[in-house]
Amino acid sequence: MAECHPVGYQWVMEARERGAKVFHIDPRFSRTSATVDRYLAIRAGTDIVLLGALINHVLSNGLDFREYVLAYTNAATLVNRDFRDTEDLDGLFSGFDEETGRYDPSTWAYEGDVPEEEELTEGGKRHAEAAGSDSYGARGAGASATPPEDPTLTDPRCVYQILKRHYSRYTPEMVEELCGIPREQFDELAEAITANSGRERTTAWVYSVGWTQHSVGVQYIRAASILQLLLGNMGRPGGGIMALRGHASIQGSTDIPTLFNLLPGYIAMPHAHRHDGLDHYLEREGADTGWWGNRRAYVVSLLKAWWGDAATEANDYCFDYLPRLTGDHGHYATVMGQIDGTVKGYFVVGENPAVGSANGKAQRLGLANLDWLVVRDLVLVETATFWKDAPEIETGELRTEEIGTEVFFMPAASHVEKEGTFTNTQRLLQWREKALDPPGDCRSDLWFYYHLGKRVRQRLGDDEIDRPVMELTWDYPEIGAQRDPDAGAVLREINGTAADGRLLASLRELKPDGSTSCGCWIYCGVYADGVNMAARRKPHTEQGPVALEWGWAWPANRRILYNRASADPQGRPWSERKKYVYWDGTRWTGPDVPDFEEDKAPGYRPPEGAKAEHALAGTDPFIMQSDGRGWLYVPSGLSDGPLPTHYEPHESPVRNALYGQQSNPARRTVDRPENPYNPALSPRFPYVYTTSRLTEHHTTGAMSRPLPYLAELQPEAFCEVSREMAEEIGLDNGGWATIVTTRTAIELRVLVTGRVRPLRLNGKVVHQIVMPYHWGYSSGGVVTGDVVNDLPSIVLDPNVYIQESKAGTCDVLPGRRPRGRALLDLIERYRDG
Amino acid sequence: MAERMGFFTDTTICIGCKACEVACKEWNDVPDDGFVFRATSYDNTGALGASTWRHVAFVEQDGRWLMMSDVCKHCTHAACLDVCPTGALFRTEFDTVVVQSDVCNGCGYCVPACPYGVIDRRQDDGRAWKCTLCYDRLRGGMEPACAKACPTKSIQFGPLDELRERAEARVERLHAEGVTEARLYGENPDNGVGGTGAFFLLLDEPETYGLPPDPVVTTRDLPAMWRWAGGAALALAAGVAACFLGRR
């Protein structure tokens, strides 16, 4: 966090000054490790072992916050009789299909829940993506609001008992053997988090891409969620799990998504074979209880925002104008489509996949096979210049004169040259003013897409097929000589309006009948009463510590989600020290906006057949879930199991000591010549690598390498190795190393350091190498270097299709890499050896 | 004269982000210092110099990684200023020491005079450069760029007396918490340079961070040397005179 979020990290430093105990768990000893109470070195790719052992520690010692767990989680809920755990099947859950490598999740359901109806079929065949994550979207999927429970937690089929059995083999000994964390360090961590949880205290977890970029990445976060729920650390001040993001407004780009399977506000993208019309889509995509029960209002309001008067009840509010999914259209599937020639054109906006995505060679081979490519960036990034300076030109795999891709480089405005909002880690929207006009032809992304849209519309006619574009509301006021669309007008459209044009104040005003429009239901209220709430900058000295008048947090300006859980079931604060949102006898109150209906009494019990929020009791704080509970166990919505389970990375030097199943059985592999894998347990690739970032650079370096003041601070691509590893291989500090995988080999300068230590796993010594990935072959860079992301393979988490770039295997040779054809020969030898 | 202003750099809360180095260069338009991978932990600018006025040192020890943002000490007794023949170096109303680049003639006397090795000449233009404690910002009522950019308040700017009090309280607290190795460096008005306008809270010996343990203003002995030289000259003159007188 100190390394990549130094500005936010000031608060960790301050918390520490005020007595907080801070642990840092990371394969790499970073600036964060240097400034905490205790650093735990861990083998990359083994965090679920550690988290699982902490869960086991809590459960087997009875340290869970029992009152919280009973009232607010699904611990007591009974699970389907046919469910089989990894304990029963040596690392598999019930429902796995060996042939397709996919799970059928129907046996994971709660007792009494009916499995989903059979998929619509294509040509009589069950669609290949049936169990894919896009079938659920990122939200509580269909499950009963009042499933059968055993409040004594003794029924072997209740979640609590399943959890206990599942994690029983996650012991401190396993942590030592798989993670390389010694027993006394584990004990200290376990003691600290349990001593600092409960009525009087809370513990927070913070993670970043070190947890997500794994073939079992989603389950890492799930494991932390289980721990936090068991310890009563969700929805309470000082608790929670914080996702640190990789760029400014990455949170914003999932809220109003650049993701293929989501619409604004985490609404699922419709599927070509799963959904017939709006009614059918709404019926299938989620439960009727909890706040998602109102999804018709959210979806219809979104359609009204996009198609305005053209969207009517008679035409399903233009639901059929929305594109449809037919499967995985994620980044890596798109790249494979490029190589295959099925994807002809490509927009790359503020990204640099030639350097930033896993298996850079596959990325560049895809780029070289396009008809056209649009790159929008501040500088000529490698993705725009690959045709003349990619490593494949040097090896002869690509020849400039044979690349047919027409590249359009569109210079972009920087953040001070445009207005708009950033939405960062804490869901906080903060408005930026424009300081000056962008120079020359540089323009904002908003300008680009708005004017592109206008020109596209000029070229379309009244064909039926053109109507979704022609009928879009596309009429923002244009400002100044550059005719910038008014970003405020866009934010007002996102906020939403009533039929009379009045700006909505709250998402509760959204209607399912087409009388309201709203571009993103969770952002509704950001422009309440015509005031740009995101632009508020009242200093903390003039308001309370929750600072509700600084910017605006979705939803409804709540700063802590699910904060009803900060009070006990009767609505009283768990303790005076942790008092936050509570019931004052007539309503919920406190320093934050209650995440609950203000007047729903703790004693409220839903009547039979109640829908949406009315189906949740006054003691159900997790209001987006169909049962209002925090899910220790996930009955539906995940592709790789209801409980986090340790699987070794796809490329690992050690055997999975917990199960016969080595790696995540549901992981997505891309088995193609462009993407060869290092065999697991291969002696040819004995070292573990992980990729990382440095404070001095930003992602692929496009915003830092061209700047001398940043480039001089970390001028060359390097790797960090332990003294022992340097000795074993013959690496010199300040010299060169060649890192080899079956994808390619790159050369890096060597930094030998005592901060990296060999790990002892069950008697075997495993060396880790750490590689910051900020360098590439151009980007107008004052400094350049080999592309670290050329090393990882494309192997994906099955829920969100993120690549496993944080843990893999490699070989390391002293000296610089071979050039030209000789480089390919070296890789050939490794592949065949 | 205004109150004496200075820096208190608390290395116990430094996170090594180098925002100070960058902010200093941005504000003062200092050129880059070359692009050299030094293989010395995360330090690639090496040391304070003509084109690096804030420098973050990274010291790797067993289980510990020390970081310290170094800067010109703005000494009470500043040798650089004493030896400057052109008056380019002067003491400001904030009791800081600043080089006027339009007056400096590049003689370089100040370079060996500095007991900390801070001030240096730039190869291309020959003139001497160092931290100005953002004299222009101070005159505009702003804090120096490095202190402004520091996210953790490791670099604190203010009236020196106030900073000294704050620093002493901080050391006391750290000692009470068992961090017995915490100590101040440069704050003592009785040290060899009469105390520094920029002082530090360190977690190890000064040498560990590349700082001289007991710096002395290099011009300290100058008056005595001149007295001795004067005396010698007088004695010589007297001897010579005596010779002539004696012959008479």
pLDDT along chain A (833 residues), means of 10: 93 93 96 96 95 98 98 96 96 95 92 61 38 38 75 97 98 96 97 97 96 96 98 97 90 92 93 88 87 95 98 97 92 97 96 96 98 97 96 96 98 96 94 95 96 97 94 95 95 97 97 98 97 97 96 97 98 98 97 97 95 95 93 92 97 94 96 94 94 95 95 97 97 98 98 93 89 91 94 95 94 97 96 82
* Residue carrying the six token digits 């397709």: A100
Same domain, yes or no: A746 and A678: yes
Binning pLDDT at 50, 70 and 90, where does residue B111 land?
A: very high
State whether B21 and A713 contact (CB < 8 Å). Answer: yes
Answer with the one of A558, A576, A596 that is the final residue of a domain. Answer: A558
Positive or negative, the CA dihedral B186, B188, B194, B198 is positive
| Cβ within 8 Å, pair A714-B44 | yes
Q: Which two tokens stand for residue B128?
A: 């001497």
User: What is the phi/psi pair of residue A280, to 5°?
Assistant: -65, -40
Round to whole Å and give the CA distance between B22 and B16.
Answer: 12
In a domain, residue A715? The reply is yes
| Residues B31-56: tens digit of each pLDDT | 999 999 999 999 999 999 999 999 99
Of A695, A708, A753, the CB nearest to B32: A708
B67 in A contact zone (CB under 8 Å): yes
Calculate the CA dihedral of residues B195, B198, B203, B204 and round it to 10 degrees: -60
User: Do the Cβ atoms of A734 and B37 come within 8 Å?
Assistant: yes
Phi/psi at B165 (5° precision) = -60, -45
Sign of CA dihedral A653, A658, A662, A666: negative
**Of A553, A549, A540, A559, residue with least CA distance to A239:** A559
Cβ <8 Å between A711 and B35: yes
The DSSP code for B103 is T
Taking alpha carbons only, the member of A36, A35, A38 closest to residue A186 is A38
Decide: helix, strand or coil at residue B116. coil
User: Is the separation of the CB atoms in A695 and A729 below 8 Å?
Assistant: no
Q: How close, in Å, is residue A707 to chain B by CA atoms?
A: 10
Question: CA-to-CA distance for A112 and A114, rounded, in angstroms?
Answer: 6
3 state DSSP class of A331? helix
Give yes or no for residue B248 having a pLDDT over 70.
Answer: no
Domain with A811 in it: 668-832
**pTM for this model (two decimals):** 0.94
Residue A318: CB partners within 8 Å, gap ≥ 6? A303, A306, A307, A310, A311, A468, A471
pLDDT at A116: 53
The values of phi and psi at residue A148, to 5°, are -65, 145
Q: What's the gap in Å between the CA of A483 and the closest CA on chain B?
A: 32
Q: Per the structure block, which two tokens stand in for B174?
A: 């750290």
**Per-residue tokens: B61:** 């020890």
What's the longest Cα–Cα distance across chain A? Answer: 78
Choosing among A35, A698, A722, A786, which should be mutated to test the B contact, i.e. which has the most B CBs within 10 A?
Answer: A35
Quickly count helices (H) and strands (E) in chain B.
Answer: 7, 10
Q: Are residues A731 and A782 in the same domain?
A: yes
* A741 at interface of B, judged by CB pairs closer than 8 A: no
CA angle at residue B134 from B131 to B137, to 5 degrees? Answer: 175
Where helices occur in A308-439 by DSSP H, the ranges are: 331-340, 353-356, 360-367, 382-389, 391-395
Cβ neighbors of B225 (< 8 A, separation 6 or more) are: none
Interface of A with B in 144-173 (CB under 8 A): none
A50 and A185 within one domain: yes
Count of the separate structural domains present in chain A: 3
Q: Please state the φ and ψ torsions of residue B242, each to the nearest 5 degrees.
A: -60, -40
Indicate yes or no: CB of A712 within 8 angstroms of CB of B33.
Answer: yes
| A455 found inside a domain | no
A-proximal residues of B, 117-176, CB under 8 Å? 151-153
Considering the domain architecture, whether residues A256 and A288 belong to the same structural domain is answered as yes
Whether A181 and A37 share a structural domain: yes
Chain B: closest CA distance from residue A822 (Å): 27
Residues A239 and A297 in one domain: no
Closest CA to A330 of A376, A261, A271: A261
pLDDT in tens, B119-175: 999 999 999 999 999 999 999 999 999 999 999 999 999 999 999 999 999 999 999
Q: State how far residue B42 is from chain A, nearest Cα, in angstroms.
A: 8
Write the CATH number for A202: 3.40.228.10
User: The complex's ipTM?
Assistant: 0.92
Give chain A positions within 8 Å (CB) of B17: 2, 6, 31, 695
Query: Quick check: A603 and A567 in contact, CB under 8 A?
Result: no
Same-domain status, A695 and A821? yes
**In terms of domains, do A745 and A828 share one?**
yes
- Type of residue at A292: W
Q: What is the 3-state secondary structure (H, E, C) of A578-632?
A: CCCCEECCCCEECCCCCCCCCCCCCCCCCCCCCCEHHHCCCCCCCCCCCCCCECC
Say what the pLDDT of residue A119 is: 47
Is residue A165 packed enough to be buried (19+ CB in 10 Å), middle (13-18) or exposed (0-12)? Answer: middle
Q: State how far residue A5 is from chain B, nearest Cα, in angstroms.
A: 10
Which of the listed residues A199, A218, A243 is the one where a domain comes to its end?
A: A243
Comparing CB atoms, the residue among B25, B64, B151 nearest residue A6 is: B151
Q: Pull the structure tokens for residue A101.
A: 């490598």
| CB-based burial label for A541 (10 Å; 0-12, 13-18, 19+) | exposed
Give the closest residue to A400 by CA, choosing from A374, A352, A375, A364. A364
- Sequence-ordered list of residues with C-beta below 8 angstroms from that of A149, at least 6 positions apart, any chain: A76, A77, A78, A158
Q: How many CB atoms sit inside 10 A of residue A603's CB?
A: 12
Q: Compute the nearest-CA separation of B146 from chain A (Å).
A: 14
Pairing of strands A372-377, A406-411: parallel
Q: Which of B10, B12, B13, B15 to mutate to test the interface with A (most CBs of A within 10 A)?
A: B15
Sequence-ordered list of residues with C-beta below 8 angstroms from that of B138, at least 6 positions apart, any chain: B5, B92, B94, B96, B144
- Cβ pair A704, A724 in contact under 8 A: no
Yes or no, beta carbons of A31 and B13 under 8 Å apart: no
Distance of CA A413 to the CA centre of its chain: 26
Both A738 and A684 in a single domain?
yes
Q: Is residue A354 part of a domain?
A: no
What are the tokens at A327? Answer: 């499967």
Q: What are phi and psi of B31, to 5 degrees?
A: -70, 165
Tell me if A621 is assigned to some domain.
Answer: no
Residue A397 counted as domain residue: no
Regarding whether A230 and A251 lie in a shared domain, the answer is no
The whole-angstrom separation of Cα A194 and Cα A64 is 8
Q: From the candidates A36, A712, A749, A775, which should be mutated to test the interface with B, based on the most B CB atoms within 10 A?
A: A712
Q: What would the pLDDT profile of B200-232 be if each residue is shown by its tens digit?
A: 999 999 999 999 999 998 888 888 888 888 889
Q: What is the mean pLDDT of residues B59-75?
A: 96
Query: Are the beta carbons of A13 and B152 separated by less than 8 Å?
Result: yes
Residue A685 lies in a domain: yes
In a domain, A778, yes or no: yes
Same domain (yes/no): A176, A34: yes
pLDDT at A637 (0 to 100): 86
Final residue before a domain boundary, out of A223, A243, A263 = A243
Give the CATH number, domain containing residue A704. Answer: 2.40.40.20
Q: Please, are residues A746 and A817 in contact by the beta-carbon 8 Å criterion?
A: yes
A159 with A77: CB under 8 angstroms? yes
Q: Is B62 exposed, middle or buried (0-12, 13-18, 19+ CB in 10 A)?
A: exposed
Q: What is the C-alpha to C-alpha distance for residues A266 and A140, in angstroms, rounded to an integer?
A: 11
A713 contacts B44 by C-beta, under 8 angstroms: yes
Residue A269 lies in a domain: yes
Q: Are A199 and A574 in contact (CB under 8 A)?
A: yes
When scoring A5, A31, A33 by the number of chain B Cβ atoms within 10 A, the one with the most, hence best to mutate, is: A31
Q: Are B196 and B167 in contact (CB under 8 A)?
A: no
Nearest to A248 by CA among A104, A432, A86, A103: A432
**Same domain, yes or no: A825 and A689:** yes
Token pair listed for A457: 């519309």
Tokens of residue A456, six digits: 């596209």
What is the structure's pLDDT at A112? 85
Q: What is the pLDDT of residue A138?
A: 32
